[in-house]
Amino acid sequence: MSFSLMPLVVSGRRVFILGLVAGYVDALSFVDLGGVFAGAMTGNTTHMGASFVQGNWPHGFLLVGALAIFFASAVLTSLARLLWLPAYGIMFMTILMVLAQAAHSSPYRYWGEFLILPALLAVQGETIAKFSGTPMPTIVITTNLLKAASGVATWMAAKLAPSRITTPLSGSILLPGLSFLSFFVGAVMAALGLAVHGSFPFLWPLPFLGLLYWDVWKTERDGRYED
């Protein structure tokens, strides 16, 4: 199997779908789980420390649980990616999304989502984290903003001192920016869904994940894979 850079348009559509799902799930989890993020472990760690200092032990240990679920799921997903191929991770994300919908519609909504949603975004973060040569976790927006800023600065420096600075890949600016935009759109869609009290919030992303699975599987079938 050949390891090569994906065309920018291919990486762009993958980043958009993954960012959309991450923003949507993270925003929805924050509301449904009472201040627990499914993917923003920096926020969870900050809240965990503040909760322990303030004596809010139940919430602090709840956040410990979310971090543990996320970490364990990331380890297992990374192992699976090394042994198999990313398309399996996309398939597992789809299964977890269906399970999240089942939990959302059940009497065990809170604990079901608490167990499933951090695992879902951990799977996302470990399944595909490099796009057209740019390492980029689609669930970490702070990192992607810094990557976009670094790309812009490098591009400016290359114009000012072309003999010393190499012009960066266009994807190093465009893809992190697209990740931020799609994450924001996903969060807005979650807020709109909550405002209209939608009954099936975890089902509408399934066609997007199906498209992503087909896209990734097709490139793997053709013997191309970007690690």
User: Does a structural domain hold residue 84?
Assistant: yes
Beta bridge partners of 53: none
User: Does a structural domain hold residue 28?
Assistant: yes
Task: Convert the pLDDT of each residue in 43-54 to its tens digit.
Answer: 999 999 999 999
Buried b (16+ CB within 10 A) or exposed e, 191-223: eebeeeeeeebbeebeebbeebbebbbebbeee
Task: Convert the pLDDT of each residue in 110-142 to its tens digit.
Answer: 999 999 999 999 999 999 888 988 888 899 999
User: Does a structural domain hold residue 190?
Assistant: yes
Share of the chain above pLDDT 70, in %: 96
User: Does a structural domain hold residue 9?
Assistant: no
User: Does a structural domain hold residue 217?
Assistant: yes
Q: How many C-beta neighbours within 10 Å does residue 160 have?
A: 9
Task: Convert the pLDDT of each residue in 21-44 to its tens digit.
Answer: 999 999 999 999 999 999 999 999
Report the alpha-carbon distance of residue 9 to residue 175 in Å, rounded: 10
User: Does a structural domain hold residue 227?
Assistant: no
Assign 3-class secondary structure to the chain: CECCCCCHHHHHHHHHHHHHHHHHHHHHHHHHCCCCCCCCHHHHHHHHHHHHHCCCHHHHHHHHHHHHHHHHHHHHHHHHHHHCCHHHHHHHHHHHHHHHHHHHCCCCHHHHHHHHHHHHHHHHHHHCCEECCEECCCCCHHHHHHHHHHHHHHHHHHHHCCCCCCCCCCHHHHHHHHHHHHHHHHHHHHHHHHHCCCCCCCCCCHHHHHHHHHHHHHHHHCCECCC
| pLDDT value of position 194 | 84
User: Does a structural domain hold residue 58?
Assistant: yes
Domain total of the chain: 1
The number of angstroms, rounded, from the C-alpha of 176 to the middle of its chain's C-alpha atoms is 12
User: Does a structural domain hold residue 52?
Assistant: yes
**Are the C-beta atoms of residues 224 and 23 closer than 8 Å to each other?**
no
Residues spanned by the domain of 105:
18-222
Confidence of residue 10 (pLDDT cuts 50, 70, 90): very high
Report the alpha-carbon distance of residue 203 to residue 13 in Å, rounded: 20
Beta bridge partners of 130: 135
Task: Convert the pLDDT of each residue in 57-109 to its tens digit.
Answer: 999 999 999 999 999 999 999 998 888 878 889 999 999 999 999 999 999 99
Task: Convert the pLDDT of each residue in 139-169 to its tens digit.
Answer: 999 999 999 999 999 999 999 999 999 988 8
| pLDDT value of position 227 | 55
| pLDDT value of position 109 | 93
Task: Convert the pLDDT of each residue in 203-227 to its tens digit.
Answer: 999 999 999 999 999 888 876 666 5
**How many CA within 13 A on the CB side of residue 68?**
7
| pLDDT value of position 82 | 85
